[in-house]
């Protein structure tokens, strides 16, 4: 999906920590974009920089076991949250064809800029991806995170996600944790 379009659902978000207070809702705008959108790429780069130190000590153990990133062709939609023109958060919906030929839809790269955490943006990002999936007739989503990301695991569990066995391509990464959720 390359054309941007607003996400017309009310989003309940809280003021930025340490920043000027903004009213709940109304100031954060969700936009559907492509995987390669520059703001989505910038947020994912921040995510990588934040997570790299956690996993770096285990690079040798994970060598050859980590899957590559999604391709733009696999991404159905990438959601971006904006406030005052600044990108705050992102999440994507990926169509991943499994080895057995079955299609699996998964949530990818949920990230909230560190200055805007605690406002409900990660929950809203999951909701945006879930709404997109439902519009396609998808009834179950999956996702993968890492064992060294307890805040992500906590978020998913609070939002009704349940741990599932790791599926390809994550089944060979000893640091992967996978979740599923019926929509």
Tell me what pLDDT residue 7 has.
Answer: 39
Tell me what pLDDT residue 98 has.
Answer: 67
In 3D space, the residue among 85, 78, 90, 67 whose CA is nearest the CA of residue 36 turns out to be 78
Q: Domains in the chain, start-ordered, CATH in brackets?
A: 5-182 (3.40.630.30)
Q: How far is CA 59 from CA 32, 44, 50, 65, 115, in A?
A: 34, 20, 15, 10, 28
Alpha-carbon Rg for the chain in angstroms: 16
Q: pLDDT of the chain along its 183 residues, tens only?
A: 333 333 333 343 433 333 333 334 448 999 999 999 999 999 999 999 999 999 888 877 767 667 778 999 999 999 999 999 999 999 999 999 766 777 899 999 999 999 999 999 999 999 999 999 999 999 999 999 999 999 999 999 999 999 999 999 999 999 999 999 999
Whole-model pTM?
0.83
CA distance 144 to 130: 15
Q: Are 62 and 119 in contact (CB under 8 A)?
A: no
State the DSSP string of 28-87: EEEEEE-TT-HHHHHHHHHHHHHHHHHHGGGHHHHTTTSPPPPPGGGEEEEEEEEETTEE
Tell me what pLDDT residue 177 has.
Answer: 97
CA dihedral over 37, 9, 177, 179, signed as positive or negative? negative
CA distance 32 to 113: 18
Structure token digits, residue 114: 């560190």
């Amino acid at each position: 999906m390359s054309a941007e379009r607003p996400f017309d659902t009310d989003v309940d978000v809280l003021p930025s920590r340490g920043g000027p207070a903004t009213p709940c809702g109304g100031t954060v705008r969700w936009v559907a974009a492509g995987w390669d959108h520059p703001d989505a790429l910038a947020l994912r780069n921040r995510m990588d920089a934040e997570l790299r130190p956690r996993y770096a000590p285990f690079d040798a153990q994970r060598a050859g076991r980590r899957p590559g990133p999604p391709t733009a062709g696999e991404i159905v939609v990438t959601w971006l949250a904006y406030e005052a023109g600044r990108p705050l958060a992102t999440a994507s919906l990926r169509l991943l064809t499994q080895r057995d030929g079955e299609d699996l839809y998964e949530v990818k790269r949920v990230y909230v800029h560190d200055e805007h955490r605690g406002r409900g943006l990660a929950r809203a990002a999951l909701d945006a991806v879930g709404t997109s999936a439902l519009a396609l007739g998808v009834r179950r989503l999956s996702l993968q995170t890492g064992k060294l990301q307890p805040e992500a695991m906590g978020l998913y569990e609070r939002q009704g996600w349940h741990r599932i066995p790791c599926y390809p391509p994550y089944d060979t990464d000893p640091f992967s944790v996978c979740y599923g959720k019926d929509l």
